Amino acid sequence: MRALVTGGAGFLGSHLCERLLKDGDEVICLDNYFSGRRANVLHLRDYDNFELMRHDIVEPILLEVDRIYHLACPASPVHYQYNPVKTIKTSVMGTINMLGLAKRVRARILLTSTSEVYGDPEVHPQTEDYWGHVNPIGERSCYDEGKRVAECLMMNYHRQNKVDVRIVRIFNTYGPRMAINDGRVVSNFCVAALKGEPLEIYGDGQQTRSFAYVDDIIDAIVRMMRVEGLTGPVNIGNPDEFTVEELARLTVEITGSSSQIVRRPARADDPVRRKPDITLARKHLGWEPKVALRDGLGRSVGYFRKELGLTPV
Ligand code: NAD
Ligand code: UDP
């Protein structure tokens, strides 16, 4: 297969490029390096069938490919709120460009949507048939509503133009190759604990998230692309739910840090609870996560230690 991975130099994209190359695909990694970096994929340049391209998906592009894994979009609130207008352009114009390409070259296209389409959910755990509770004018809406439009575009190109589409809704994912300054909670907590700095909890720390290890999520994405006759959306995530405070305590324990845990003001529209119902993924993809948080955090801490130039323990 000739595969295009948009956002391929990012956290998830770099793991996906690696997996596809190992499986024997030809891979074009396309990125504008806004929140990704060449260092994430430099180790892949030894593969003959790997190509790295700088391109912004807000501009159209024509490539001969069979599969499009469409990941390009900043995913950390810090990054997607830095230039919110650009974020929404990436989700809307970028997805139109990728769908136009898929239509023209008859490629199958997969969108990495997000649990954020459920907003601050009133249904718990979240099932795919829940329409969500999103503030359309809030600070998170450039991302949430952008992804909701991207899903809408996917389904309309499918119905109107018979494009072969796949949608996965990914829940909070963590692991090696998250940037030190990524700004999401797992990287923030690991980096702070390793540096002996305070772990900052936004709000009361009782909000929950369900954290999935990157390898599990990549496996689900690959399965979703390969399965026949399923557009989705399908939730992929780890249903083990933790409060942010529990995550902070676990990170301090695993790193053996003497860092304090401190409180900071809550972020606007921060979802209170989040946990995926993965019945559909279990049934149609034969998939469920294998890596527990304690395990995955341990592996991630090893990576952050190296990134920070600390000696391994
Ligand atoms: P990331 O920020 O590390 O990766 C995104 C990549 O897209 C970066 O390499 C960035 O430079 C690139 N990019 C951004 N705008 C672009 C543009 N206009 N043109 C070209 N490239 C562009 O984030 P990630 O965690 O790897 O997320 C990847 C995808 O998965 C995103 O679509 C995100 O919405 C989705 N997702 C991730 C999570 C998660 O927890 N990691 C959860 C839900 C959904
Ligand atoms: N959070 C926190 N401290 C941090 C970063 C995040 O308490 O340093 C909280 C944040 O308010 C949210 C949760 O951790 O409740 C997850 O935040 P993240 O940015 O990782 O992802 P989100 O699920 O909000 O997109």
257 Cα distance to chain centroid = 28
Q: Domain-by-domain residue ranges, the chain?
A: 2-174+213-236
Tell me the CA distances in angstroms from 259 to 197, 198, 288, one per residue in order: 5, 5, 34
Which pair of tokens denotes residue 83?
Answer: 């230039």
Nearest to 244 by CA among 218, 269, 208: 208
- The pLDDT score that the predictor gives to residue 311 is 77
pLDDT tens track of the chain, all 313 residues? 999 999 999 999 999 999 999 999 999 999 999 999 999 999 999 999 999 999 999 999 999 999 999 999 999 999 999 999 999 999 999 999 999 999 999 999 999 999 999 999 999 999 999 999 999 999 999 999 999 999 999 999 999 999 999 999 999 999 999 999 999 999 999 999 999 999 999 999 999 999 999 999 999 999 999 999 999 999 999 999 999 999 999 999 999 999 999 999 999 999 999 999 999 999 999 999 999 999 999 999 999 999 999 977 7
Ligand 1 pocket mutation pick from 52, 70, 71 by most atoms within 8 angstroms of CB: 71
Tell me if 11 CB under 6 Å of ligand 1. yes
Q: Are 72 and 11 in contact (CB under 8 A)?
A: no
Catalytic residue among 80, 143, 174, 213: 143
Which CATH superfamily does the domain covering 2-174+213-236 fall into?
Answer: NAD(P)-binding Rossmann-like Domain (3.40.50.720)
Tell me if 184 CB under 6 Å of ligand 2. yes
**What is the value of pTM for the model shown?**
0.98
Nearest to 5 by CA among 43, 31, 24: 31
Tell me if 75 CB under 6 Å of ligand 1. yes
